[in-house]
Amino acid sequence: MAGIRLQPEDSDVSQQARAVALVDLVSDDDRSIAADSWSIKSEYGSTLDDDQRHADAAEALSNVNLRAASDYSSDKDEPDAEAVSSMLGFQSYWDAAYTDELTNFHEHGHAGEVWFGDNVMEVVASWTKTLCIDISQGRLPNHVDDVKADAGELDDKLLSSWNVLDIGTGNGLLLQELAKQGFSDLTGTDYSERAINLAQSLANRDGFPNIKFLVDDVLETKLEQVFQLVMDKGTLDAIGLHPDGPVKRMMYWDSVSRLVAPGGILVVTSCNSTKDELVQEVESFNQRKSATAPEPEVAKDDESCRDPLFQYVSHVRTYPTFMFGGSVGSRVATVAFLRK
């Protein structure tokens, strides 16, 4: 699974393209057929689809749950409307998409899409490295982007103690970027077996055979270990596009809270939620968990049970921003939360 790439508008796209992106497909077979015929165009092109279909798909994606510029303000007062469901919320879509990318890899050696782009991926990896080093040294910074330490001053040995999980890893390129930053204990999971096949093939080719890849659905995870660093680049976005998105997002937070080790960090990168919206979603999750915690008389000797499970730590401040109606916003948000 990956995120949703923002696409430019195309005035020549047909009405059918707009309709298909929002249709509620009845069966898994129907979803698979539709997904196979609406694959996203990679920057390297595709040997399996014609140009017009790619143009239609790009326009369809641009119309799915992408808010107007004013909605990206970091201090919105009103909550968003319920997310519009789309094919991108179904596993069958991603299986079809990664079948295309796996074929292109075998035939041409192409790595496939870098969701949110190379620049965002590099920023996420380097920013996360700085954050983890600061935390290892006993600091909880609020302005990680302001840290400009030289590479020689950053002790990569600190990073070797961090075991890392990338949920919805897709082609696994984020884990490769983290490996370049000095992380060594890396695991990627995805519910699409085809995505895992592609990620493992790319890691082996690119000289990262020690990265582990597993087929696993984060909403029904079979993983029994916890991780000090959990990465999500677009997975929460895709989960929210399922017709049952609101419920599945609550399942997501329940599951992720069991995967992040106490004292560990969750880093979420999203193009469908602002930093403030992610923080509010975490606060709502904390409130739900607190409401279901043991009664005070039962846990009177354990005040920690009343503490929020996740606490906001920092967010990336270097993404390009724009101003609309007097408010400043960004189309990508990367936010870190500490697991208490």
Rounded to the nearest angstrom, the gap between the alpha carbon of residue 155 and the centroid of all alpha carbons in its chain is: 27
pLDDT at 1: 55
* Average pLDDT over the chain, rounded to an integer: 76
pLDDT at 174: 97
Who's near 11: CB < 8 A, 6+ residues apart? none
The phi and psi torsions of 210 (rounded to 5 degrees) equal -85, -10
Higher pLDDT, residue 24 or 144: 144
Query: Which band of pLDDT confidence, cut at 50, 70 and 90, is reported for residue 211?
Result: very high
- Tell me the domains of the chain and their CATH numbers: 87-138+218-291+308-339 (3.40.50)
In whole angstroms, what is the distance from residue 247 CA to residue 240 CA?
A: 9
Residue 298 clears pLDDT 70, i.e. is over it: no
CB–CB of 9/62 below 8 Å? yes
Query: Which band of pLDDT confidence, cut at 50, 70 and 90, is reported for residue 112?
Result: confident
Rounded to the nearest angstrom, the gap between the alpha carbon of residue 316 and the centroid of all alpha carbons in its chain is: 14
Record the pTM: 0.72
CB–CB of 166/339 below 8 Å? no
* Model confidence pLDDT, tens digit, residues 16-66: 433 333 334 334 444 433 333 333 333 333 334 444 434 444 444 444 444
pLDDT at 176: 97
